[in-house]
Amino acid sequence: GKLPPRRLLNVSCGDAPLASGTPGAAAVVSAGPAFKGSLKVVTRDQWGEVLDESRQDVDLADGTNTVALKLPALAAGQYYVDTWLMQGDKVADWASQRFGVKGRAAIQSVKLASQTLKPGERVSAEVTLSNAMPSTTIRAELRDVYGRVLRRQDKVALKDGRAKVELPTDAAWQTCQ
């Protein structure tokens, strides 16, 4: 097939992984005759789910041009940035690049619903994590003073980086009596 006169040569996200939780930057290099249009930018996760989409006007001079791109703050993992050089609603050219974001999920806070409990009440808490992937889960355990696990809640899913935990305390009261 015939190549378009204005080409997107590559998309670069840098050689090092981006830091998780902070906005990133990328650049797209284009070459060819002068071009006025727009650049559509889509950020996807490794499964293809669109996480961010933007469009910016471009007025490219004759020759080679570099256009700076803003990437959203992302959790640790692998992602793709897709770019389309648009003239109206027609695609002049496109390019994609895979990139990594480094970081580890970490507990930011644990907020207990109550500081004191009566026999039969449940321990309720909200756990907030940073740098968590959508697939991240947590495990909550209720232990006695000897470190023995009395109750466990496994595979607690996160929603917007938060998890709700509820553990019964009946086993804890039995070990104290």
For 120-147, what is each residue's pLDDT tens digit? 889 999 999 987 777 788 999 998 888 8
Q: What is the pTM of this model?
A: 0.61
The two three-digit tokens of residue 66, written as one number = 């570099």
Q: Which of 1-5, 21-25, 65-69 has the highest mean pLDDT?
A: 65-69
Q: What is the mean pLDDT of residues 8-19?
A: 88
d(CA 172, CA 57): 62
Phi then psi for residue 5, to 5 deg, are: -65, -35
Confidence of residue 1 (pLDDT cuts 50, 70, 90): low
Q: CB under 8 Å to 7, separation ≥6 — which residues?
A: 30, 31, 32, 93
Confidence of residue 22 (pLDDT cuts 50, 70, 90): confident
> CA gyration radius for the chain?
25
Low-confidence winner among 12-16, 18-22, 51-55, 63-67 (lowest mean pLDDT): 18-22
Q: What is the mean pLDDT of residues 43-57?
A: 94
